[in-house]
Amino acid sequence: MVERVLTAAALRPLAPAVRGPRAVLRYRDLSDLVHAWTARLSGSGLPAGTVAALEVTDPTYLAPAHLAVRAAGLVPMLLDPNLPPARRDALLETGRPGLVIGVSEDLACGPGVADPRVLSPDAGYLGFTSGTQGTPKGIVSNEAGVSHFVSWEAAALGLRPGTAVALISPPSFEVVFRELFLTLTTGAELVVAPPAVRADPNAVLPWLAEQDVEVLHAVPSLAARWLAAAPGLQLNRLRWTLFAGEPLHAAQVAAWRESAPHTEVVNLYGPSETTLAKFWYQVPAEPTAGIQPVGQPLPGTRLRRLSPAPNSPQEQTSVGDEVFRIGIATPHGSFGYLEGTGTPTDHASLRRRAGETEFDSQDLGRLDPNGNLVVTGRRDSRVKRRGVFVDLGLIEAQATWESSVRLACCVQAGPERGGAVVLVVESADPGSAARLTRELRRRLGPEAPEEVVAVASLPLSPNGKIDRRAVADRIATGALYATGQPRQGC
């Protein structure tokens, strides 16, 4: 990636590369910073492959800092200074960086641990799963996978030099690498959202409109929050919106297109273990009802249809509507989980051999009549209640048919609530819980949730996804019912 960005910089030295809140870096400035900071970091005396933590205070300078770390032979690990202190400390303890580098207009290099972690020099970065489904796991990501993805994306979007691409993802979310390197390998312009904008849903759509952003990567839940905060605002310059991280529903697509009438919508899918996205689907003008497909694999990637039975890696040969567990094989996937994170079962599910990564995910899917992959949920979203299996993902999908519902999260409560299935929806309509209760009882019968609770705001993770663990905790402690509207029982 270093060579590709510096090549693009040599072709357009005076063109703007990064437009930050307080500074604009031309491609020549970007190149100069990479060379100067590489020289500083090369004198650290750390062995090749040593982890270096980048604490990104000013994301305007994230690109040159990341590239300088790579050019010095180190492996970057990105930290968002807005992370909760406990999460930040846990990541530093697990990553064991040899350097901790504050990133702003200059690098503030501080010492790391005495016994730093050393990875393969081919590792593009050290990432971590979001933790919304369980304990975060470290992932040793493949730089070749980043390069492969941005080459595909640039071609798919027909990206031209000068195109305005938003940098709005938090530094700890791997989508930031799509934003950075899609832009800087093609001579486009990276438009950096100020931290205050990124943290305020009310500010995002006005900022996108003001900056004439043309390409945006977003998480569906976060985009729904932005729309609710700025109803009626038009993003007339937006040409491409690429969603990832969560299921994308037809209702969300329709709402987004009302705000961005000229945008193409793409649904991406790929667990962090496979290094960025590995499936894509361009949503047509008339979307499929309900959950949108994630489409077809990127070149070089193949879908493996696994038995949905627990811990069963054998592939299925059946096709059609039968649900399978999603397996992915790609030469561009990660090198594996970080030693000391994850369980033995986790490590067995992610294998790198003979130049190919195989990952047995916990996601469930099926093929639609056109052969597109549709992610239908997760194995752990099927829970047993009173002797009957209930699909939490299906309940969430059905909830999005209620027009007032922005977001939906269905969880099974713990023993303190008798294992009840609780649907929590984000809605400003006081009557939404009662309407949903009646409609879900009609549609799902005995598989309907025991309780439906409407709240003004669902908790989101730092990456913008619904934080299911936080929802479950609020149910267990009763905090949800203190802030929610009167709940309805099914």
- Name the pTM for this structure: 0.88
Q: Which of 373, 396, 423 is the last residue of a domain?
A: 373
Q: Which of 338, 373, 408 is the last residue of a domain?
A: 373
Q: Are 403 and 313 contained in the same domain? A: no
Contact criterion met (CB below 8 Å) for 420 and 383: no
CATH number for position 246: 3.40.50.12780
The conformation of residue 98, written as its DSSP 8-state character, comes to: S
pLDDT of residue 196 exceeding 80, the answer is yes
d(CA 331, CA 335): 10
What is the tens place of the pLDDT at every residue in 310-339?
544 455 544 445 889 999 999 999 999 998
Q: Are 62 and 210 contained in the same domain? A: yes
Q: Burial level of 332, CB count in 10 A (0-12/13-18/19+)?
A: buried
Residue 378 lies in a domain: no
Q: Burial level of 382, CB count in 10 A (0-12/13-18/19+)?
A: middle
Among 112, 28, 43, CA closest to 76: 112
Q: What pLDDT is stored for residue 489 in this prediction? A: 46
d(CA 220, CA 242): 10
Helix (H, G, I), strand (E, B) or coil at 35: helix
Among 195, 148, 185, CA closest to 163: 185
Residue 242 lies in a domain: yes
Of the two residues 306 and 445, the one the predictor is more confident about is: 306
Angle at 76 between CA 71 and CA 79, to 5 degrees: 145
Q: Which residue has the tokens 């090549």?
A: 7
Share of the chain above pLDDT 90, in %: 64
Q: Which of 322, 346, 373 is the last residue of a domain?
A: 373
Angle at 193 between CA 298 and CA 406, to 5 degrees: 70
Q: Are 164 and 255 contained in the same domain? A: yes
Of the two residues 134 and 331, the one the predictor is more confident about is: 331
Q: Are 306 and 392 contained in the same domain? A: no
What's the number of domains the chain is made of?
A: 2
Q: Given pLDDT bands bounded at 50, 70 and 90, which one contains residue 145? A: very high
Residue 435 lies in a domain: yes
Contact criterion met (CB below 8 Å) for 355 and 342: no
Q: Are 397 and 447 contained in the same domain? A: yes
What is the tens place of the pLDDT at every residue in 402-448?
778 888 888 888 887 778 899 999 988 878 888 888 989 888 888 88
Q: Which residue has the tokens 């627990």?
A: 310
Q: Are 355 and 257 contained in the same domain? A: yes
Q: What pLDDT is stored for residue 337 in this prediction? A: 93
Domain that holds residue 407: 386-489
Helix (H, G, I), strand (E, B) or coil at 420: coil
Q: Are 361 and 447 contained in the same domain? A: no
Kindly report the backbone phi and psi dihedral angles of residue 271, in degrees, each rounded to the nearest multiple of 5, phi listed first.
-60, 155
Six token digits for residue 250: 């037809």
- Residues shown for the chain: 490
Among 81, 52, 219, 77, CA closest to 138: 77
What is the tens place of the pLDDT at every residue in 77-112?
999 888 888 888 888 999 999 999 999 999 999 999
Q: Are 390 and 482 contained in the same domain? A: yes
